[in-house]
Structure 1
Amino acid sequence: MRKLFIHSKGKYFLLSLTLILQLVSFAQENRKPNIVFIMADDLGYETLGINGGESYQTPNLDRIARKGINFTEAYATPLCTPSRVQLMTGKYNFRNYIGFGVLENEEITFANVLKDLGYSTAIAGKWQLGGDFSTPNHFGFDQYCLWQINEGDFWYRYKNPRLVQNGRELTLNHPSDAYGPDIFTTFIIDFIRKNANKPFLVYYPMALVHDPFQPTPRDSKFKDYPIEDLNDITYFRSMVEYMDELVGRIYSELESQNLLDNTYIIFTGDNGTDRKVISKFKGDSIRGDKGYTTSAGTHVPLIISGPSLRELGQNSDHLVDFTDFFPTFLDIANGSKPNKLLLDGRSLKPFLVGEPYTPRRWIFTDYNSKGRDFPIKKYVQDKQFKLYSDGSFFNYKNDPQEKSPLSIDKLKGESYENYLILNQALSLYQQMNFNE
């Protein structure tokens, strides 16, 4: 057996190298898992190949789904900021959503809590939550590289982007060649490399695939297109496929660093696809419905891969909404919920690792775009039916555009039983006096 001699205060201690290696291995095995949470912008369920999408090639996400769990019944709010506030705080919007592009300063995010649990934390991509250059740090992120900390610069998220990195406006060496999503992804990869030996959280709210629809670096027109004058839907396919490529880059980095066995990778979209986009899905055509509460506005992809999953490559039809991410991350980190912290969601970790888990019977959505021209809607849904606060009741699986409300007094059997369950759930939230 090889020996290692260490001199300390004039005395020699003989330690077995085997023992040291065992201690290192034990420390690695008991280290908190890393979390990489990636959220595409305006990407509905129908866009991914693994889900039956036929318009775009998404080989990297499809591969991650085959190595993890693909959730087929995950739902967001129909619009960017409401979803972001909900997922970062774990609360339904009636509790803390005060306006588009705003996260209240006193809120606690999953990054705040994971940082307190010893995680190194980083965020890159689209912010859209207000504040100033110190705000991402305030909400728990050690490092950041972001677009739209301040409202504005709509066109400059892609080519020649206007970004802020760790408190300073980012100066680009070659602006005409710079591509925002590449910068975000490089920032994340660099963060992973620097923090490979300790637990880390990466949150990547992507700029892709939100409009303006513009060429990516893989397109011949990338070099010379007019940034403020081009919004062409024909580039949407290229944007989706470039998004998939960026996810693949991050996955490959985790693989090269031997971190996959201790890293949860979560991928989702913040709401449905843009209404200008029509995609082929299982032989049909699906028009995106971002901003509206139909399935095409709220049904999003959700893929989770990670250590000790119950079964690789399976689909799950368990209901998930965006309040579930915070408690899931807390559970992954083996942390306890702070006493004063209110969370509306439930952790998915027991299901992920094969422990006892009671699936949701329903999810609740409180949707008020606050300043955007969309109808205010509050509803409860299960995997087939949806009940709005105005009494409208739909079988949204059979009527995805919600054109034909069901007559309550004619309901029978399972439909009536589901109505009673949803009505009871909706009443619980009505009793909390949510804002009308």
Structure 2
Amino acid sequence: MVSSKKSDNKKVSLIAGNNFRKACLNPGWRRSAIHMFMVLLLFSCSTRQEPDDRPNVVLVLIDNQSYFELSRNGHQIVKTPRIDRLAEKAVNFTNFHAPPFCSPSRTALLTGRYALRAGVHNTVGGVSILHKDETTLADILKKEGYSTAIFGKWHLGATYPYAPKFRGFGEVFIHGGGGVSQLEDYYGNNHINATYEHNGKYVKSTGFSTDVLFDEAIKFMGDKQMDQEPFFCFISTPAVHFPTNRHPETTKRLLDRGVEDSKYLALYSMIENVDDNVGKLLDYLEKSGMKENTLVILASDQGVNDRGAVMHRSGKFQNRGLSFDEKHQVYCMMQYPSMTDKNAGDIDKLAGIIDVMPTILDICGMQQPDNLDGKSLKPLLSGATGWDDERKLIVQCPRSRIRKKWENTAVKYKKWRLVDGKELYNIENDYGQQTDLAASYPGIVKDLTETYELFWNSLAPAETLISAHILGAAEAPEIRLNGMDWYAGDAPWTQGALDNKTSQGKWRVEVAGDGNYRFELRRYPREAPKPIEANSAMIEIGDEKKEVAIDINASEAILELDLKKGTYDLVTTFKDTVHQIDWGAYYVHVSPVNQNSQ
């Protein structure tokens, strides 16, 4: 592993400080100790002034942008000149794949492992949370002395120990959930003048989401350059995920070009605004002098069913499920000038978002964990030998709480695609995956089936991958649960669900220590203290149960329970006895009143 200069400086300072304290206690050797202190202090100061020349890393992930929503990839309306230019000057992967939904895609990106290994196979329902035992890219880079930051979308858990500040990110500027205005997000948010969480506090922004996030990221990069510290900056935009909002400047630009004012205009304006900000980022890196020593990776997170293509690859627009390439193929380009300039252009080798983490670690000179499914793309970036042309790639996203063998699965190998364990396609001759060749190539089917069987049999039992929210941890004395994370029952996900008194579910929780715990049950979040419209509120944890009467206009219900350390299901119930309606609290704040042990 590459050692951190910061760590070395701390050791020097510690030695000097210990000797100085000894000198104060023993006047007999004070002079020699003070002399040693001054020498070490000078050494420490000179070491701090040396710049850290390890590469910076800027990872930009655009949400829900199709491979075809770039002008270079054939879109007939949007213009993306800056991304197009980056693709020409960088290594541009044209056979690059990701899981077809947000949380699984981000899991693969940040762990280098298949998302099912982390218990992530949907975007809600308790299976969008990155398991606490997984190591993230940010964990490793932070440990190695990098300053780490995330700007935008996380969508891998909001409580302890799943939130980004517990997963290696030192600077956190995010919205909640999988998109602005979802249950986990600040109430009433959209892409304009949104409220973000900045290092644990809500802050109001001014402007469009993509502009705000890139500006915050650039400020972070500038601060780290001043500190002469290498950084990892993850910009994860909520654009172009719905809800779509029109960006004022790019909307005018589109209308001035004669683009029709239609329901797609907001989407087009968001895409062109993304392109503007990518250009702003690249210009900043060049003008600041950081371009040559910065690895830039730009990708989208899912295929979006070929949206924006002149014609769907199958010959007609249709939704064939989650196992075909139109759901998986994404754009991805990587630029590290000293490595990629000589090898710039399109590369059609089979690769995927799961390869991003090992690639970054390899280029940064760091040892890779031995449990990764992804492979370093460094040989393809540099034009060197060492790439495995025989590699096979598995994409599976059950899109449900329960994972099932072969459900929504593709095993990719060279020109072959084994779909759901039954159908085989040759995309070299059949790009649209229309002709099933399984009966003609039983050997290929057998080989790819064996690859999948090894993967499936290596997964941990599903029950062990249910992520429990930890109550009463010293690292997070208070946490807020939200209904998006119910692992059983209903799966509400937009703030529109709050107006309905219908949904019910349960959270898996781990009580960190024996004690008395306070529960604040809400229908609406604290920032929107609207009436619950219930007569009573009840909470159940394991064998413990408590119910209290509440005023019909109350916005919260407070209950306290004595709990024992352990893992339980947590269920809440609001009762409207007038209309004979029961439903669950969409938000629950939990904090210990006192604890006996942990």
TM-score band by shorter chain is: 0.7 to 0.9
Counterpart residue number, 1:359 = 388
User: Mapping of 1:67-216 within 5 angstroms?
Assistant: 67-98=89-120, 100=123, 101-132=128-159, 135-148=163-176, 151-152=184-185, 156-172=189-205, 178-196=207-225, 197-216=228-247
Residue pair 1:147, 1:164 contacting (<8 A) in 2 also: yes
Deviations 1:10-46 (A, max 9, x none): xxxxxxxxxxxxx999x65x71101101011111222
Aligned to 1:55: 77
Task: Please give the secondary structure, in 1, of the residue aligned with 2:339.
Answer: coil
> Are the aligned partners of 1:213 and 1:232 in contact in 2 as well (CA < 8 Å)?
no
Q: 1:336 to 1:288 in 2, by over 3 A?
A: farther
Please tell me whether the aligned partners of residues 377 and 387 of structure 2 are also in contact (alpha carbons under 8 angstroms). no
For residues 242 and 73 of structure 1, do their structure 2 counterparts lie closer, same or farther at Cα, with a shift above 3 Å needed? same
Judge conservation of contact 1:119–1:200 (CA < 8 Å) in 2: yes
| 1:358 CA drift (Å) | 2.0
SS in 1 for 2:245: coil
Selected match of 2:452 from 415, 419, 426: 426
Does 2:56 align with 1:40? Answer: no
Preserved CA contact (<8 Å) 1:117 1:333: no
How far is the alpha carbon of 1:334 from its aligned partner? Answer: 0.9
Give the partner amino acid of 1:141: F
Runs of 5+ unmatched residues, structure 1: 1-8, 10-22, 223-230
Superposition deviation, residue 280 in structure 1 = 2.9
Distance 1:286 1:45, change over 3 A: farther
2: CA distance, partners of 1:152 / 1:24:
40
For the residues of structure 2 that align with 1:199 and 1:145, how far apart are their CA atoms?
A: 19
Pair 105,428 (structure 1): closer, same or farther in 2 beyond 3 Å: closer
Distance of 1:57 and 1:287 partners within structure 2: 23
Identify the match of residue 324 of structure 1 among 349, 355, 365.
355
Specify the SS of the correspondent of 1:121.
Answer: strand
Q: Which amino acid aligns with 1:302?
A: C
Map residues 12-31 of structure 1 onto 2, 5 A cutoff: 31=53
Q: 1:327-406 to 2 correspondence within 5 Å? A: 327-338=358-369, 342-361=371-390, 362-371=392-401, 376-396=407-427, 398-400=429-431, 402-406=433-437
Whichever residue aligns with residue 369 of structure 1, its letter is R
Q: Deviations over 1:224-249 (max 9, x none)?
A: xxxxxxx9323222111111111111
Rounded Cα–Cα distance in structure 2 between residues aligned with 1:159 and 1:327: 35
Q: Give the conservation status (yes or no) of the 8 Å contact 1:42–1:290.
A: no
Partner of 1:344, secondary structure, is coil
* Offset of residue 323 of structure 1: 1.7
Deviation, 1:406, is 2.2
Matched residue SS, 1:237? helix
Name the stretch that deviates more: 127-136 or 259-268.
127-136
Q: CA deviation at 1:53?
A: 3.7
Once the two structures are overlaid, the 10-residue window that deviates more, 184-193 or 235-244, is: 235-244
Q: Name the amino acid aligned to 2:279.
A: G
Q: Specify the structure having the higher radius of gyration (Cα).
A: 2
Residues in 1 aligned to 2:230 and 2:102: alpha-carbon distance in whole angstroms: 29
Work out whether residues 410 and 420 of structure 2, in 8 Å CA contact, stay in contact via their aligned partners in 1. yes
Whole-Å Cα distance in 2 between the matches of residues 285 and 119 of structure 1?
47
**Structure 2: any 5+ residue segments left out of the alignment?**
1-34, 36-46, 178-182, 254-261, 463-598
Shift, 1:68, TM fit: 1.1
Aligned partner letter, 1:194: D
Alpha carbons 1:295, 1:396 under 8 Å: kept:
no
Deviations 1:294-315 (A, max 9, x none): 2221100010111322524321
Q: Which moved more, 1:162-171 or 1:278-287?
A: 278-287
Q: Deviations over 1:124-178 (max 9, x none)?
A: 0112112238821111111121111562459724013131111110134x5xxx2
Shift of 1:373: 13
CA–CA distance in structure 2, aligned partners of residues 218 and 373 of structure 1 = 44
Q: Secondary structure at the match of 1:56?
A: coil
Distance 1:171 1:48, change over 3 A: closer
Q: Distance in 2 between matches of 1:288 and 1:123?
A: 35
Q: SS of 1:308's equivalent? A: helix
Paired residues, number: 396
> Would you say the 8 A contact 1:55–1:279 is kept in 2?
no
Give percent identity, aligned residues only: 27
Cα pair distance change 1:284/1:342, threshold 3 Å: closer
Instruction: Answer yes or no: is the 8 Å Cα contact 1:87–1:326 preserved in 2.
Output: yes
Instruction: Give the drift of 1:399.
Output: 4.5
- Structure 2 counterpart SS, 1:144: strand
Deviation at 1:371, TM superposition (A): 5.0
Question: Which residue in 2 is equivalent to 1:64?
Answer: 86
Question: In the alignment, which residue of structure 2 is the partner of 1:13?
Answer: none
Normalising by structure 1, report the TM-score.
0.80
Q: Which amino acid aligns with 1:202?
A: C
Q: Which amino acid aligns with 2:167?
A: F
Moved more, 131-140 or 256-265: 131-140
Whole-Å separation in 2 of the counterparts to 1:324 and 1:131: 25
Higher relative contact order, structure no. (Cα contacts within 8 Å, ≥ 6 residues apart): 1
In the alignment, what sits opposite 2:549? none
> How is 1:179-258 mapped onto 2 (pairs within 5 angstroms)?
179-196=208-225, 197-219=228-250, 232-258=263-289
Q: TM-score, normalised by structure 2?
A: 0.60
Q: In 2, Cα distance between the equivalents of 1:262 and 1:202?
A: 14
| Cα distance change of structure 1 residues 189 and 73 upon mapping to structure 2, 3 Å threshold | same
Aligned pair partner of 1:280 in 293, 300, 310:
310
> How far 1:380 moved relative to its partner?
0.7
Residues 372 and 67 of structure 1: CA distance in aligned 2, closer, same or farther (over 3 Å): farther
Q: Distance in 1 between the 2:69 and 2:111 partners? A: 27
Change (3 A) 1:253 1:299: same
Q: Is the 8 A contact 1:56 1:237 kept in 2?
A: yes
SS in 2 for 1:280: coil
Task: Classify 1:24/1:142 alpha carbon distance in 2 versus 1 (closer, same or farther; 3 Å).
Answer: closer
Contact in 1 for aligned 2:246/2:265 (Cα 8 Å): no
